[in-house]
Chain A
Amino acid sequence: MTTDFSAATSSQMVPVDSIDCSPGPYCMSFGYDLNPLILSIESVGLLNSPILLASENSHRMVIIAGYRRIQALKRLRFRSFPCRVFPASALDPLHCLLINLYENLSTRKLNDVEKGMVLVRMGNIVPEKTIIEQYLPVLDLVPRKDIFLLYTKIAGELEEPGKTALAEGRLSLPAAKMLLDLDKTARDEILRFFSNLMLNMNQQRQLIDFIMDISIIENRSVPNLLVDPSIREMETDVRMNAPQKAKAVMKWFRKRRLPSVVEAERGFKKSVSELRLPDGVRIVAPPFFEGPDYRMEISFKNGLQLAKVLKDLSTIKRLVDIGNPQEKER
């Protein structure tokens, strides 16, 4: 869009009482911290005027852009401040939305919830195909329908705690996507559970996968599974910090979901420790015992030490037993 509407605006002092201070149909701010903006206004004043649309039906003007600035100004008890005001007939809803979008994009990156909000709002006025082809790239998103659907679901279906966690980066986008495939009860319970742990992106995805698999295999609801006494114990254990709890929880679920794998890994570790390998020697199994190659690492300070380690290794007769203990049993 190349139309310049700036000529249609007038800059004027607007009393705060004459503004509808709700986000309205055009604003797309979520999960923001108002304090830096308050500090900025306190220090150097209002640098950019909010943009308003005069209303035909009521006396209160609608915010096109500057929702957060107005919130900050209100917090600072400003009774009026300069705004750019468009006459009601000057802009259609799409233009208002685009003014907000581009104004935001010129100063910051939108978080995933805000991107979803943009797309939902656009969905009311622009054909889906146009949004996907034209506006997803503007939001730094791949122009595909599944991406469009994911983001609109984030805005439309993810509950407030999930949105907040996503906007703050505590919940990863792939994990949010997985949660959106679950029913609300399961989603709420998992989000509550996650809030007590400090999981990285991979752990989040893997844990949701484990929880869902176990819930289905054992025919237990997610809330029922997550109140298992062993889990509750880990959650409430004051001796562990959040990352330690996360590790313990992951271990518990992994053992429950992949008992043979965990048992094989444990057996392998035990058999290697029983070999009494020389200091500085480590034997590593291939991931899940799937690949053909085991690996031995030797740390040594000089050739003399290496020669000694190799000599010591050659005397360990049970080296020939190294392998997946479960494959030997079968």
Chain B
Amino acid sequence: MTEFPVSKVIFEKHAGVLNKYIRQLIEKNKATMVEYEETGRGEGAEENAAFHMGKDVLHFLSYKGEFLKPCPGTREYICCGYQILNVGTNCPLNCSYCILQYYFNNPHLRVHANLEKELPRLLATIDSQPGKIFRVGTGEFTDSLALDPVARWTELLVPAFSKRKNAVLELKTKTTHIDGLLAVRERDRIIVSWSLNSSYICAREEHGAASIEKRLKAARRCQADGFKIGFHFDPLICHDGWKEQYARTVDLMAHYVDPKSIIWISLGSFRFMPGLKPVLRKRHPGTCILNGEFVMGLDGKMRYFKPMRMEMYAFMREKLEQWHPDLGLYLCMESDEIWEKSMGWSPGENSGLSRYLDERVKTIFE
């Protein structure tokens, strides 16, 4: 059922229903079951200080914050206007570049078990603005499908979003956990997308994730089963032989999937808060992701030197457009200048990129 080992399951009382899948997981892993009345926000922070992310502890809790929030973006770079549906935090994968290692002082695989209770309220928000297209994703703070076998997010969310004409739900993953998704009847307004990288980075830095080929095979299954699909080359990482390696990934895409129902493919280069660097060095001493030439970006994050980013984007654009001319390519958090110089056009500002992606939604789904 699951491919991640769990030694302990924490279940907050009143957080939701302890389903049969969680019980199976506990049995299979001979995991300890702990029930709390309520856990504080800082619970478990000590483990994080010691750089243990607590990835073997599955924690079902009642989330007190807003479930649906716009991607914060930054003023200096063009943001796509995405809406983040915060269904949980952390995931069983252990990608060296994961920004959550820095952002969260809450370890454990956290599933926000009150999602079902809160869902009507967030759907009402969507329904109250019929003129606006909500591009919603669950894959920002966790992998959308890694925990789906026990969290059963797809069972709950896919039918709810399928009914709405002014929203799409994107499930972003590096896994092949698509069985739950395929078992759901609805297909409309759902995008299943995979984060892709070079096989070199996948093997070296994306610990616990499915191979690129397996991800693409899963994408093919979803596509064949009627889902629209998307891809995200984010983070693009500069390494020896990166051109050949990324070109090979594009070749594999061409081999496995039909480009016509791809809604979008994003490109983003590796960027990180400076404070993440010592964490990476400790948690992933053999990593190669810090080897490039990084400079301080306008948003305070470290980014590859601009000419390098432009070269990577232009290369990826060329390869992807050779495969198919209409893939909905876009850049994640880049400047107007980089858009112009590497993509040949620019949305100009946030609203321009939002319009472009909204149009993709209309083209693909309507």
Interface residues of A, Cβ cutoff 8 Å to B: 145-146, 149, 178, 181, 209, 212-213, 216-217, 257-261, 264, 287-292, 324, 326-327, 329-330
Contact = CB atoms under 8 A, between A and B. Distances in A.
B297 interface: yes
B176 interface: no
Nearest to B297: A290
Contacts of B293: 257-261
Contacts of A217: 291
B296 A288 contact: yes
Contact of B308 (A146, A149, A209, A260): A260
Contact of A149 (B49, B291, B306, B311): B49
Interface of B is mostly: helix
Interface string B39-53: 000000110010000
Contact of B306 (A181, A209, A290): A290
A146 B297 CA distance: 27
Contacts of A257: 293
Interface stretch (B111-119, B198-206, B335-343): B335-343
B310 interface: yes
Contacts of B34: none
Given A288-B295, A290-B303, A324-B307, A145 B278 contact: no
Interface of B: 45-46, 49, 76, 277-278, 281-282, 290-291, 293, 295-298, 303, 305-308, 310-311, 314, 335-337, 341
B311 A330 contact: yes
Contacts of A181: 278, 281-282
5 contacts: A178-B278, A212-B281, A257-B293, A260-B307, A291-B298
Contacts of A212: 281
Sorted nearest first, the 5 A-B pairs with minimum C-beta distance are A288-B295, A326-B307, A145-B49, A146-B49, A258-B293
A132 to B, nearest CB: 10
Contacts of B298: 290-291
A112 B280 CA distance: 26
B242 to A, nearest CB: 15
Contacts of B76: 291
Contacts of A258: 293, 295, 305
A330 to B, nearest CB: 6
A291 B74 CA distance: 14
Contacts of B308: 260
Contact of B307 (A149, A216, A327): A327
Contact of A261 (B282, B295, B335): B295
Contacts of B305: 258, 260-261, 264, 288-289
Contacts of A291: 76, 298
B201 to A, nearest CB: 17
A213 B337 contact: no
Nearest to A148: B49
Name which of A145, A288, A291, A329 has the most chain B CB atoms within 10 A of its CB: A288
B295 A292 contact: no
A209 B297 CA distance: 18
A149 B295 CA distance: 30
Contacts of B49: 145-146, 149
Contacts of B341: 327
A326 B308 CA distance: 9
A326 B307 CA distance: 7
B296 A145 contact: no
Contacts of B297: 290
A213 B290 contact: yes
B46 A290 contact: no
B280 to A, nearest CB: 11
Given A145-B49, A149-B49, A290-B296, 5 more contacts: A212-B281, A261-B293, A289-B306, A290-B297, A291-B76
Contact of B46 (A145, A260, A289): A145
A223 B187 CA distance: 60
A257 B290 CA distance: 11
Nearest to B291: A217
A288 B337 contact: no
B282 A288 contact: no
A53 B297 CA distance: 58
A290 B307 contact: no
A57 B219 CA distance: 77
A330 B310 contact: yes
From B278, B281, B291, B307, residue with most partner A Cβ within 10 Å: B307
A145 B44 CA distance: 12
Nearest to B286: A216
A68 B291 CA distance: 49
A324 B306 contact: yes
A181 B298 CA distance: 28
B295 A290 contact: yes
Nearest to B290: A213
Given A259-B293, A261-B295, A324-B306, A292 B335 contact: yes
B296 A287 contact: yes
Nearest to B282: A181
Contacts of A292: 335-337
A288 B295 CA distance: 7
Contacts of A209: 277
Contacts of B46: 145
